[in-house]
Amino acid sequence: MSGPLVLLDSAGLYFRSFYALPESMTSPDGQPVNAVRGFAGMVAQIITERRPSRLVACLDADWRPAFRVAAIPSYKAQRVADPVNNIEEVPDSLTPQVPIIMELLDAVGICMAGAPGYEADDVIGTLADRETVDPVEVITGDRDLFQCVRDTPTTVRVIYVGRGWSKAETIGPSELATKYGLPERGSAYADMAVLRGDPSDGLPGIAGIGEKTAAKLITKFGSLAALVEAAEAGSKDVPLRVKAAFAEDAAYLAAAPKVVAVATDAPLQVRGEEKLPTSVADLERVRELQERWDLGAPVDRLIKAISG
């Protein structure tokens, strides 16, 4: 049996590495490399434990896509550091580490994929949706990607690392149903998320509807579309307060599904082969990066994981 296609939510993972490890981890010239070391070590562990046949590091080509902002202007607005250039607020000591991570992935020979005008979530959604051969595992700390899980034609599972790798949870349709009281399909999570909202993404949700109420409504009606249709038809099965909230927040309710749903047709730009190499692509370059930035044992583990 071939191993799974593993899709890495790269930005999410290196952000987590940055906050998990001290900035006192520096290169010889004093630049923090905690995110680089943490990310390299995590990728090594993922390869060792998940044994993928194919691996793609999915990237944000646009962290705040124009089509989402046009639908809901508040989308991620609280994270904007430079409104003119639409630049995300990122810790000063993390920004220079990102190019090092990209160079290391390239030297090792790990495939990278992005899509102009789209987020990494959309890259993951597109790659997962089109897969018809191998099981898919999405490594992320972002619950939004729960909407990608499925059982057919190949399984898609989210390995959720929101509480760290040692406490990783494997989420599929049945786990999603158990955890949230939803129907056993990934799109039900997106439906619930529209109603619940997400302050961290600037999505207000529907007033007065929290996660539990949202899940109950989606389960009762089967989908958000069916719930909205029933409310508009005046169904007595839709509580009056929900009808009133829908009427009050009609503009949000119409726009939010397009914002919350990950794309499955993003125009991918792929660099390298998805197949996991059996040896690093350019060992001399990897060793040079390791020495230049003092990346130490995490890079040794990554080399061993690739060749092992």
* Predicted confidence (pLDDT) per residue in 235-277, tens digit: 999 999 999 999 999 999 999 999 999 999 999 999 999 999 9
CA distance 166 to 147: 23
Given a contact cutoff of 8 angstroms between Cβ atoms, the answer to whether 91 and 221 are in contact is no
87 has pLDDT over 80: no
Top-tier CATH class for 5-173+262-307: alpha beta
Ranges of CATH 1.10.150.20 domains, the chain = 186-260
* Predicted confidence (pLDDT) per residue in 225-239, tens digit: 999 999 999 999 999
One-letter amino acid identity for 126?
Answer: T
Of 16, 98, 92, the closest CA to residue 60 belongs to 98
Hey, which residues does 57 pair with through a beta bridge?
A: 8, 112
Threshold 0.85, pTM exceeds: yes
Exposure class string for 107-145: b at 16+ Cβ within 10 A, else e: bbbbbbbbbeebbbbbbbbbbbbebeebbbbbbbbbbbb
Determine phi and psi for 49, rounding to 5 degrees: -90, -35
* DSSP single-letter state for residue 258: H
CATH architecture, domain defined by 186-260: Orthogonal Bundle (1.10)
Ranges of CATH 3.40.50.1010 domains, the chain = 5-173+262-307
Of residues 166 and 4, more confidence is placed in 4
Given a contact cutoff of 8 angstroms between Cβ atoms, the answer to whether 70 and 21 are in contact is no
